[in-house]
Amino acid sequence: PLAKRNLQLKQATVITTDWGTWRRTHPDTTVLVEDLALGRDFDFRNGRDADGPIFPVGDVDPRLPVHEDVIGVVTASGRPVAFQRSAAMIALTRGEKIGIENVRLRLEAGGIRAVDVDGSDLGSHQAFWFAWSQFHPGTALWPK
């Protein structure tokens, strides 16, 4: 029904943070864990490449490994860009500046957030490469 109204949702920011930072910011958090959800260990970051995605995907963009973490964002011109998280974390920790068009990356709460030139949040999304690239084919990659 909302699609018929031509409603467009604003991208919510998704970043990975550490538990201590999360608890300080959200002290009333309740954690729910279902052991072996979907028949797999819930620690999806360790050893997942051996099992592959937990659901079928289309053509996989071969420029990065399927489970490579990226920070994805759409620039002001409408171009999707993905920043390889591991490389961006190293560069930002060294004090390097990272930016494409209106997008700037900054360290925040143990993760990486994309902001515009005045520091406003751009709704960046941390995701596995296979997921981001499925929804945003033709994504520009950083570093090139």
Helical H segments across the chain, by residue range: 19-25, 48-51, 85-93, 129-135
Better pLDDT: 141 or 10: 141
- Give the confidence band of 53 by pLDDT, cuts at 50, 70, 90: low
Task: Look up residue 14 and give its DSSP letter.
Answer: B
Note the pLDDT tens digit of each residue in 71-104.
Answer: 999 999 999 999 999 999 999 999 999 999 999 9
Selected residue with higher pLDDT from 113 and 49: 113
Omega into 53 within 30° of 0, i.e. cis? no
* DSSP category for residue 121: B
Q: Is the pLDDT of residue 3 over 60?
A: yes
Where exactly are the structural domains of the chain?
3-55+63-142
DSSP annotation string for 83-108: EEHHHHHHHHHTT---EETTEEEEEE
